[in-house]
Structure 1
């Protein structure tokens, strides 16, 4: 997974002659999968990313300008929606794994994407679905009614459902089409290129159309693109491999917790001393276990001493297994294999490291939304062209792509040259670099905001008391914090995926990217809580950005992220790799 992410930013993509062959005929039937499926999936990937960015990229501005939502409240709403869109794919991946497989879930998700954009288009085109425009000179604009907000939130809900079904499952579905690991690597390279590329295009082209031409046309184009992506996906249906649903990987974890709780009164030490202690190892090689796998004889090992209270789940008691066949469990929610117990322990060991990354997402969530508000109050003109405020976040996406390319093509080769050919920095080292860059990014945001407010003060009370006053400071200054933030993400995000993928047990490797999604989602939600707490405790964040003290919030984030980095260092020092280098 490390190479899958690190090569996304500009690496050359190549395939060999074997992987370019068209599917062969096998027994009179066309072989499924292979590169013939790629054009269909590529169009659907790009279309889904474009349409989603076209809806979400300008949501703060849409709420402020068309629904007359106070600016800070609009940023909070956008943060909550972003959190929903980030966490929803975890549920979608579980549903696909456990019940339906990827293709049906992705197809239905693309339908919901089209419906979401249709609803957004209706809110922009039907006059009664949003409040009347502000009257020049009026003291207050008409607020949106509950019904108008309900229609808008219905579109947001449909967008979250579409993200749940498509975002992760598109990657899994694409990987399922290939047998060779090299081909899967190439597909993942292209997946992340389309992921970031579509975000850049959606946040620039579609956002510009919404700002400069009309909201109706901007959302309408996004809906048309989503429909084209759905059509491309369905046109390739006859070529796709469709592996059967494999069952939820979380079932085994739940069984260990339940079994350990039910056997909490068992004294493992006393049973071991008396010679009555027997652990359940499951079926031997060649015999499918109760989860459909085929464990080998190497699974016949004693459980580790860490988190020893979980070992009770694997202790065999009366009635747990079939007397005629000790490998067959009679009560799977009372006895688990030693392997299942150790799999849960592996997850528990990594949770402190996982938790240390949540605050990175909190700070980035605050930065993304408040930077849009800063841009609205700064000079965004480049000649005759005015950069949409929401498009400023594109610099973060570009920074990620450029940084990934530099890491893969320059920094890692240089590291190997300086260290005499030793292997690249460990995932924990790269995550640590990401922490440091995020601290610097928050400090840079504070410095830029300090400079913007200095221009406000220089123009006196008239500028400070006027929410519509625009600072002459170029909005291009906002690119610096985003560049640092994007570079930090290029270090810590791929390294986290790599860490979770290599350290998680085989039965849970498909959830590795889900761990990162949960970090992003929790970060967005908790950033909303943090901003609410700051608004209640201080006067830093009034609705008028020109009278705010936003720089104080950024300095607070810089300090908190620095403290969190200390917590990360402690977790990293205590953690011992289980599979690194294997």
Structure 2
């Protein structure tokens, strides 16, 4: 994207002057998002009398939307509206959503009658109450969608020096982790032990501070103009190839439309690649495709050879990408089930202090943060000294597969012990079992270490292998995986509920350990599929390209 023209005499835009505004925005919005989302399962169960598994399913859908929708926000910012408008409007929408959620926690008319301890049946929310609740969650989720990736990209746009961009990203992710930890520990504790209204109110206040900081920095930002979406060109390849499916392909390079480059040269392959040959029809020049000046007459009838090769690259990557769905599905399912388990376990650190169930995932965050530092500062340098090479992104992802499978197996063993303890004490329903919640810490630590391997590995792999035209969305592909995984996890849990008795409303009466064993087996099968895909995959050779002179299309 091109920068907006600046009036004569106007102060220089961008640079480190924008840093405090963007980091303050990131801190406020992350704190707000974590404050309302981290403890949503407990809120649905305790305040809206929603059954435990149903609450976990709702949380899965919300988390899936929070992971997937930012892609739409990034596309809107890059191709249509620009980053500033998308972030500002999204932050405002998020604040409205949190405000409505705060009202549901403070106004008795917006939530069902509280369920007394020992009461066999509880009154659920009315249609109006559940409608208002879902509206608040939808607005809050949409708000996250427009800020998460867009803010990171906009921050990088303020710097021309790659080293400065790297420093910004380091502080960006540090701020994100720090704000997430504060929300998990501080706001969730307030919600559980002081007041839901105060907890959500603090989230709203953090959102307001973040929005205010962002708007105050408006005069200093370097704002880039939106450009046409590169995905339009990829879609053009499919349409043009289908329309020309009956045309005979040529072996001559001059019969194909090339990508114009600055200076009248073109960066092209020697010939169109033979893989997925059908797509080559899209770049084949036929009568009527070009104007008299050599420009393309009908864009949806003719595409450049580079666009064709870009789409082929995505097709080659897709098998590896698909393995990531079942890699993240067990983790997404575990996130919600862990909260339900924690609610039915002893969470006391001291007689008068107990850990909020919604903070259990903090062990994953801490484990990931520590592991990232150890991998970067110790494991990778040691590996390089011993082998004179660095581990490939696919190898790092493979380690993540192994650790995730191990975490699911540990989860199954711990849940089996929890159920055995419950039956020993004749406990049913969701009664608290006299087993410390810290039994679940090892499985969360292992999955955190796995994330430290696979997340950077996936981002590196997609950024390295994706076509140049859409490299900005490479990191977002991991979020797409996570979003789909949450939806798939919801479907898996729903299927298990309907076909087995493993997940009743009272988890002490079920067999959640069998659910974890199913996830373990699915992970093993997926790992086998991943090994085949990674063995067959060939890293893209970007070196064997040549610059040649040619006429425009």
Q: Is the 8 A contact 1:502 1:580 kept in 2?
A: no
1:215 counterpart (193, 196, 215): 196
1:385 aligned residue? 353
Q: Deviations over 1:89-145 (max 9, x none)?
A: 011111111111111111111111211110111001111000011144432111100
Unaligned stretches of 5+ residues in structure 1: 1-24, 288-295
Q: How does 1:173-212 map to 2 (within 5 A)?
A: 173-212=154-193
SS in 1 for 2:14: coil
Q: Could you state the TM-score of these two structures normalised by the residue count of structure 1?
A: 0.90
Q: In structure 2, how many angstroms separate the alpha carbons of the residues matched to 1:308 and 1:402? A: 47
Show the counterpart of 2:307: 340
Q: Which residue of 1 aligns with 2:336?
A: 369
Decide which of 470, 488, 491 is 1:508's aligned counterpart: 470
Q: Deviations over 1:425-450 (max 9, x none)?
A: 00000000000000000001111111
Deviation sequence 1:326-347 (CA, Å, 0-9, x none): 3x11011101111110011111
- How far does residue 423 in structure 1 lie from its aligned partner after superposition? 3.3
Q: 2:116 and 2:449 mapped to 1: Cα distance? A: 44
Q: For 1:425 and 1:542, locate their aligned partners in 2 and report how far apart those are by CA, in whole Å.
A: 44
- Relative to structure 1, the CA distance from residue 134 to residue 248 in structure 2 (aligned partners, 3 Å threshold; closer, same or farther) is same
Question: 1:26, 1:36 → 2: CA distance?
Answer: 19
Partner of 1:544: 506
The alignment partner of 1:353 has SS state of helix
Between the aligned partners of 1:26 and 1:551, the Cα distance in structure 2 is 65
Deviation at 1:27, TM superposition (A): 6.2
Give the Cα–Cα distance (whole angstroms) in 2 for the partners of residues 413 and 580 of structure 1: 26
Separation in 1 of the partners of 2:29 and 2:543?
36
Deviations 1:327-380 (A, max 9, x none): x11011101111110011111110000000101111001100000000000110
Give 1:281's match in structure 2, choosing from 247, 253, 258.
Answer: 258
User: Which residues in structure 2 correspond to 1:13-28 (within 5 Å)?
Assistant: 28=9
The one-character-per-residue Cα deviations of 1:521-550 (angstroms, maximum 9, x if unpaired) are 110000011111111111111111111100
Structure-1 separation of matches of 2:197 and 2:24:
24
Write the distance in 2 (CA, Å) between the matches of 1:259 and 1:277: 18
Residues 298-335 of structure 1: CA deviation (Å, up to 9, x unaligned): 2263211111100000000110012x333x11011101
Report the counterpart of residue 447 of structure 1 in structure 2. Answer: 413
SS at match of 1:423: coil
Equivalent pair of 1:280/1:314 in contact (CA under 8 Å): yes
Structure 1 residues 580, 564: closer, same or farther in 2, change over 3 A?
A: farther
Conservation of the 8 A alpha-carbon contact between 1:54 and 1:203: yes
**1:279-318 aligned within 5 A:** 279-286=256-263, 296-299=265-268, 301-318=270-287
Equivalent residue, structure 2, for 1:351: 318
Moved more, 297-306 or 535-544: 297-306
Alignment partners' CA distance in 1, 2:418 and 2:44:
24
Using structure 2 for the length normalisation, give the TM-score.
0.95
Structure-1 separation of matches of 2:413 and 2:173:
32
Alignment-derived partner of residue 547 in structure 2: none
Of the structure 1 ranges 298-307 and 36-45, higher mean CA displacement relative to structure 2 is found in: 298-307
Equivalent-residue separation in structure 1 for 2:70 and 2:543 (angstroms) = 29
Contact 1:260 1:311 in 2 (8 A): yes
- The aligned residue for residue 488 of structure 1 is 450
* Structure 1 residues 430 and 581, CA gap change in structure 2 (3 angstroms): farther
Q: 1:482 to 1:65 in 2, by over 3 A?
A: same
Shift of 1:26: 10
Give the conservation status (yes or no) of the 8 Å contact 2:261–2:267.
no
Distance in 2 separating the partners of 1:520 and 1:266: 41
CA gap of 1:503–1:442, structure 2 versus 1, over 3 A, is: same
Residues of 2 paired with 1:276 and 1:282: CA distance?
12
- Runs ≥4 residues deviating over 2 A: 25-29, 135-139, 282-287, 296-301, 579-582
Check conservation: 1:207, 1:218, Cα contact below 8 A.
yes
In the other structure, the counterpart of 2:142 is 161
Answer yes or no: is 1:395 the counterpart of 2:371.
Answer: no
Q: Secondary structure at the match of 1:55?
A: helix
Give the secondary structure class of the aligned counterpart of 1:298: strand
Q: Is the contact between residue 301 and residue 338 of structure 1 (CA under 8 Å) also seen in structure 2?
A: no
In the alignment, is the contact (CA less than 8 A) between 1:503 and 1:579 conserved in 2?
no
The answer to whether the 8 Å contact 1:279/1:315 transfers is yes
**Residue 569 (str. 1) matches residue 531 (str. 2):** yes
Match of 2:423 among 441, 457, 474: 457
DSSP 3-state at the match of 1:283: coil
Contact preservation (8 Å) 2:38, 2:359: yes
